[in-house]
Amino acid sequence: MSGHSKWATTHRQKAIVDAKRGAIFTKIGNQIAIAARGGTDPATNSALAMAIEKAKAANMPNANIQRAIDRVNDKNAAALEEVTYEAYGPGGVGIIVEAATDNKNRTYPEIRTALTKNGGTMADAGSVMFQFTRKGVIRVAATGEDALLQVLDAGAEDAVEESGGLTVYTDMKDLAKVRAALVQAGLNVEDAELQYVANNDVPVGDIETARKLMKVLDAVEELDDVTNVHTNADITVDIDE
């Protein structure tokens, strides 16, 4: 199962430290606003509940969270649209970019520019997507055989121990159910969301290629409209050397 790369680990850590710039609030606010279309009560809308959890983990103020939820009923607010773009990075790795935007004519050029300036290229629709599967991904702050058994008993498809915790994979339809079962079992669920998970990893063992790839991924992720970036790269070298 993919997700063992330096990018995956850095991506999770970066999602929290970026809060100092406020960018993460914009991204999560958009995710909350989109999730709220399915209902504004997190007790009956699991997607909204997970988005709110992510917001709280990033120390997003309650007022910001409520404002994002209220946007669904604000007739004056610009309508947000979920869009997905496909790209190639250095070394020929595949990249999936998810965005929430009120203006695709702004978002697409921004993503294209971030890619091309840093060694990536936009890809035709469908040319990268087939290399990924939409899955639920849950981050659990636990390790060891007992925790792994609890995860599997909760209905997860797979789990990988990495970076001091477990990365848990579920069928996309089972994400909310498995997350609830893990919480019920007393495990500390740090994050839960739908992601594009690579069917097969593409090893990146050249340090210069790896550094260029990280630069591309970071440049795209820093864009306000971008909510998630996924890659099939498995960076096997230490880029901090």
d(CA 220, CA 217): 5
- The CATH superfamily holding the domain 131-198 is YebC, transcriptional regulation domain (3.30.70.980)
Q: Burial level of 83, CB count in 10 A (0-12/13-18/19+)?
A: middle
pLDDT per position as a tens digit, 95-144:
999 999 999 999 999 999 999 999 999 999 999 999 999 999 999 999 99
d(CA 62, CA 236): 40
Domain 6-73 -> CATH class? mainly alpha
131-198 shares the fold of 6-73: no
Handedness of CA 201, 206, 207, 213 (dihedral sign): negative
Residue 24 has pLDDT above 80, yes or no: yes
- The per-residue pLDDT of the chain, averaged, comes to 88
Which pLDDT score is estimated for 18?
A: 53
Closest to 176 measured CA to CA, from 51, 63, 89, 77: 51
Per-domain residue ranges for the chain?
Answer: 6-73, 82-130+201-235, 131-198
- The CATH superfamily holding the domain 82-130+201-235 is YebC, transcriptional regulation domain (3.30.70.980)
Place of tokens 């999602």: 15
pLDDT per position as a tens digit, 135-191:
999 999 999 999 999 999 999 999 998 878 999 999 999 999 999 999 999 999 988
